[in-house]
Structure 1
Amino acid sequence: MRALDVDPIHGTRRTFRALCDAMSRPGTVHQTPTVPADYAVTATLVDHEVTFHSSDEELTAALAGQGRLEAADPSEADVVHAGRSPSWDVRDLNRGSLVEPSAGATVIYRVNELAATPEKDLTAVTVSGPGVDGTTTFGVGLPAAELDALADVQSDYPRGIDAIFTSADRVAALPRSVSLRVADGEYVPENGGDH
């Protein structure tokens, strides 16, 4: 989608590959070809058959201009785009059903920072489940309360949502099949030093 500075062929193909890697290896960080990554992810996932919610006017206008915007309320949308402090509660998004768990929503968060390892000023999230060898921990620039709410949503497997985190040209994902635990308190490096 050129309106979002996303190459509609090569950019979406490379973004799709990064998304596949992120979803198959939850809690790992991958690079996208376009900045901001949330626009590349949205352009890759959203078409005229997918309902979408976002408060980002540039994003919704670009999708509408391409005939790809089927707007919906957050609680009913297939794909929901969010900034750092969404105006809706992630626990109210569609989690699918026991019969159709794949009908659960996908939420795309735009965060200030995303790191393969926990860092100061980022919330540490420990992930376990399919695609994770034991556990893995990464850092995400979202408030712990938002990630705690996401953990609540993911505790009802097979129902749940797929969460995608984006920052600049990076992406990480937590599919509904994984469990996550948010670190209590501020992250302290193992060596006790400052980051």
Structure 2
Amino acid sequence: MNDTSLSLDNLAAGLGDPVHDSQAIFRVLLDTLSRPGTLGRIQPVLDADGPLAHIPCSAFAALLTLADYATPVWIQQHDDALAATVRFHTGAPIAQHANEAAFAYIHEAADIPAADTFALGEPETPDRSTTLLIRVDALEGGRPLTLSGPGIESSVTIAPRGIPDAFWHARAELAPAFPCGIDCYLVCGAELMGIPRTTLVEMN
């Protein structure tokens, strides 16, 4: 986002039961990232007719659960309602540049920046990298991708729709930098999949 002024006019409601809801959401986020390619589902936490009805509830729930005052959030497209709501409920600052963010919400996967645009962490502090929440058109029906690595018994095939091949190529080029890298969640509606930096993604 380029505008640092945040209006409170279009704030969306947060979690109904912040403690228990965030615990349940965190378990889903942890499970899907530890088992790459596994489909997870988060119970809806958005008002279907509210100011954030255009945001997948899985992405919104993840931001409410993971973000705090010490984790800047970058939003790909200018979205005052999302920025104001995240800042109000979590205290997270809104990052002006992708490489400053702990979490990044990508609303248009077709225009996702190159993987190395985001913070990759340092060898001593690999956790200081950006976690991406990428909205996809669907979690199936796209180009098949074969995942392998930790958390996968052999391999698993997924087919998210809407992410350009260039992103996966750029992500693969980050492999030599491990333990640095980026972790990703693919989000669609209430569903999501995790793809951590340890996962090898091959295009079929």
Deviation digits for residues 86-125 of structure 1 (CA, Å, limit 9, x no counterpart) = 463222111111222121211111111114xxx3xx1222
CA contact 1:148–1:182 (8 Å) conserved in 2 = no
Q: Where in structure 2 are the equivalents of 1:15-34 lying within 5 Å?
A: 15-34=25-44
Question: Do the aligned partners of 2:63 and 2:86 also contact (CA within 8 Å) in 1?
Answer: no
What is the CA–CA distance in structure 1 between the aligned matches of 2:13 and 2:149, rounded to whole Å?
A: 34
Structure 1 residue 9 corresponds to structure 2 residue 9: no
SS in 1 for 2:98: coil
Q: Distance in 1 between matches of 2:88 and 2:177?
A: 37
Q: 1:140-183 CA distances to partner (integer Å, 9 max, x unpaired)?
A: 12222223323333453211011111101111111112211122
* 8 A Cα contact 1:107 1:163, kept in partner: yes
Q: Which residue of 2 aligns with 1:75?
A: 99
* Pairwise CA RMSD: 2.0
* Partner SS state of residue 96, structure 1: strand
- Asked whether 1:102 is paired with 2:127, we answer yes
Q: Is contact 1:165–1:171 with CA below 8 Å preserved after alignment?
A: yes
TM-score, length of structure 1 as denominator length: 0.81
2:158 equivalent in structure 1 = 138
**Count of residues paired in the alignment:** 177
Which residue pairs with 1:147 in the alignment?
Answer: 168
Residue 113 of structure 2 corresponds to which residue in structure 1? 88
Tell me, which stretches of 5 or more residues in structure 2 are unaligned? Answer: 1-10, 45-55
Find 1:63's aligned residue among 67, 78, 86: 86
**Contact kept in structure 2, 1:79 and 1:106, CA below 8 Å:** yes
Query: Residue 156 and residue 67 in structure 1: after superposition, are their counterparts in 2 closer, same or farther (change >3 A)?
Result: closer
Q: Supply the AA of the counterpart residue of 1:181.
A: E
Which amino acid is 2:86 matched to?
L
Structure 1 spans left out of the alignment, 5+ residues: 184-195
C-alpha displacement of 1:28 = 1.2
CA contact (8 A) 1:6 1:39 kept: no
Q: Which aligned pairs between 1:161-180 and structure 2 lie closer than 5 A?
A: 161-180=182-201
